[in-house]
Structure 1
């Protein structure tokens, strides 16, 4: 009797083993042991967050939800925009790659949505961040209108951040030789302050906004009701599975609220990049004894946002593009660990050395061996405009049950792909990747299948890389760079992906 179970190659070293062998982590006394603790505890914390997000995303009318509705109702009245919450939620879902076309809300929709975000709570600013980082997925006027949400959220009142730090770590003067009360930047989750340790080390202190967890939970429950209403009244909202987007949004947001999870993402990514020999890319190392749920102290790394580089900096744009894409693809395909939000503000380039610093690891994607093989299968099927191959690849991400009949899904998606191919006149472009994934997610949603969170994060990163290319190497063929790097990884016997694909075909 033959064994039909796919034989996967040996798994790559675990992140824990990479942490143990990391020379860069070992440079900071006590960090290796602390990193192992963060790595171990993070698994249970992520699972708890996923369960909590699923519960919050289910529409319900409980006393706290009613209070949230009343608050949202007051915001809607103030902005004179009854359709604003659904429009904002739908646009943010489109920014995540889901194609949604709710009923036209009329003239002034963008302005009213902006007013709602400014008047709303942190969850609404977070939705604005989704929109602000959707280059290539949304009209440019929407992206630009919400650019302030990335790093221009209102700062905390004077002294509040210092108070949080002292509540978590003790007196500031016992920990820091200098603490700048003026933040470097402020966002929906918190703000960061430049500081200096007693030994002279330059650091960044990230502080979570007080009372944030309760406000986020209330806002997410309210958004779940908005999605349920949209499902009832809007065909576009139904086809886009807004309820699925609310759950995704809830999981990502709740993960960002716990800075211990971000510390785990930082040390995992540091160890992975080091194991790949990616000396051109660094992540800030968190400092042992200076990380809690609400405060994260990490080293200060050099660099400026890549969209602020100047022609006079003399950097090799083609080299930067290749290194940037190589780092993302290799970390994902070889180890399944990658930064989940690579917009311009999180990718810093040091003009002096031409090296990268990746910051803000509140969101990170993770794929197991089966999912990594599914990702490569999806990319191959996308290049071949193969609907059946794309749908089958989704099984690896748990989006489709192993025994589900997908013939209807394949037929629907192939129709969509044929229409896209006709409009593209046979040309396969990098920008089509986001459109094609959006069509796939929409077809899956219409047929009741789940949205694969980590796949959405990965493809959003590829679209970010398209914007990165426009900044540093506007004449480069991004698709060709991606294909070259993928072929190199597939040809490497240590990656085991060629064997994996053959075994799971």
Structure 2
């Protein structure tokens, strides 16, 4: 049984353009509250456009299977690690699981305890890129078997802390005299695979958060990625399943995401854009920390401290009372409306990055952001309408906007197979897709599309993962909520606006 789709407007000759982000930054009142931040925000924004382009080129280059001089040592080290795990297939199995988490048609990996244990040993013995692959797996509930997701949960928060004093030394070296007025707490707030985070204070008592990049990380990531590229290229030649999944292509995507997270100047650009976007759509209860002008470079970022506690730890807070429905509405707006209006969204909304603070919450760690162009935004709108209406053709056709279909794809056959899966999922006994069942629903849909030859694009996977994270969020603050009712309510509100973005978004919906 299908839901009623939102009434469609006639096709426009071209999708409406995204809002002007430069104008958005200039108009932001929150950015203007900090001296020098609007001007610096514009510089970060402009430099980030070229920076992302350069990193995309570099990622393609280092993910191309070649023997570099510094790769020989990495290969030897990888060979030793593989030998120690007694699993020659461990690197390919690990990359395959991570690629499945990204929507590639690899198929569910072997979930036997022995296979998972071998992949875990490789991650524990490997470099930072291997830990990052483990983090991808840990964030893929609904796309991977639970046994894989649970086995790699430690990758999110088990990175060893830097030696005492190291973070402070990095801060002094990178910022010079500007660091003299910052006092760091000796105990880190968090230690991750890329950076370590400390609370701190400026001379005037202002509370800040300082994030420093681990020493030598860029060179280690590069050698790890070059090694993975060679391993996957070799497997691609002899394994048809690997060839179909295009694991070498996934390594290139993984390289790009990793390199972007290594440059904290890009994170600063993500932060100021997100501040301006949330302000523009009027989500007053959601905050993003503002980076401090003059205190950001590639290896260090200093930003304002925002209060809050992870929603996953709310149950541990004595006497904590939250307005669950309000928080859920804020969460849906912060994810969906920001994406649909502006084409930019937080790319990693796991529980540690969403901090409940009173009647609202703070979003932190924006090293990874999803970005859609006008055509991709149009495709996403059509996909969401098709998802809400259980309309397989609308969802499949929307994939064209992302370049996810081959030019000779048999669309009718794909739609027929996909519609059978959609109808099966839509035929639910209670008539609702609650957030705790959203992971299963989206996971089956993505797997069905991938099995039909659709290459799920990176930005769409990041967006779907945000919906899965919303599931975890809602289960903590508003269990039992109907996800489609919440999403459809927001879409109806957007489309009902008679002018501006409402009319533009309605024009995106194909008949």
TM-score w.r.t. length of structure 1: 0.91
SS at match of 1:194: strand
Alignment of 1:104-503 (within 5 A): 104=110, 107-170=113-176, 174-176=180-182, 178-310=183-315, 312-350=319-357, 353-400=358-405, 404-407=407-410, 409-412=411-414, 414-419=416-421, 421-422=423-424, 425=427, 429=433, 430-431=438-439, 432-444=441-453, 451-492=456-497, 493-495=499-501, 496-501=503-508
Gaps of 5+ in 1: none
Separation in 1, partners of 2:363, 2:397: 33
1:210: how far off? Answer: 1.2
1:102: how far off? Answer: 7.1
Structure 1's consecutive aligned runs of 4 or more residues displaced over 6 angstroms after TM superposition are none
1:107: how far off? Answer: 4.6
SS at match of 1:298: strand
Does the C-alpha gap of structure 1 residues 233 and 490 become closer, same or farther in structure 2, counting only changes over 3 Å? Answer: farther
Does the C-alpha gap of structure 1 residues 457 and 173 become closer, same or farther in structure 2, counting only changes over 3 Å? Answer: closer
1:5: how far off? Answer: 9.7
SS at match of 1:100: coil
Separation in 1, partners of 2:426, 2:505: 30
1:424: how far off? Answer: 6.3
Does the C-alpha gap of structure 1 residues 129 and 426 become closer, same or farther in structure 2, counting only changes over 3 Å? Answer: same
1:167: how far off? Answer: 1.4
Maintained 8 Å contact 1:204/1:299:
yes
Separation in 2, partners of 1:421, 1:222: 43
Maintained 8 Å contact 1:441/1:451:
yes
1:173: how far off? Answer: 6.2
SS at match of 2:508: helix
1:420: how far off? Answer: 5.6
Does the C-alpha gap of structure 1 residues 226 and 474 become closer, same or farther in structure 2, counting only changes over 3 Å? Answer: farther
SS at match of 2:17: coil
Does the C-alpha gap of structure 1 residues 242 and 421 become closer, same or farther in structure 2, counting only changes over 3 Å? Answer: farther
Number of aligned residues: 491
Separation in 2, partners of 1:173, 1:263: 18
Separation in 1, partners of 2:493, 2:234: 48
Separation in 1, partners of 2:249, 2:179: 46
Separation in 2, partners of 1:456, 1:69: 30
1:267: how far off? Answer: 0.1
1:385: how far off? Answer: 4.3
Which residue does the alignment assign to 1:15?
Answer: 21
1:410: how far off? Answer: 4.3
Maintained 8 Å contact 1:230/1:237:
yes
Which residue does the alignment assign to 2:4?
Answer: none
TM-score w.r.t. length of structure 2: 0.90
Does the C-alpha gap of structure 1 residues 498 and 211 become closer, same or farther in structure 2, counting only changes over 3 Å? Answer: closer
SS at match of 1:313: coil
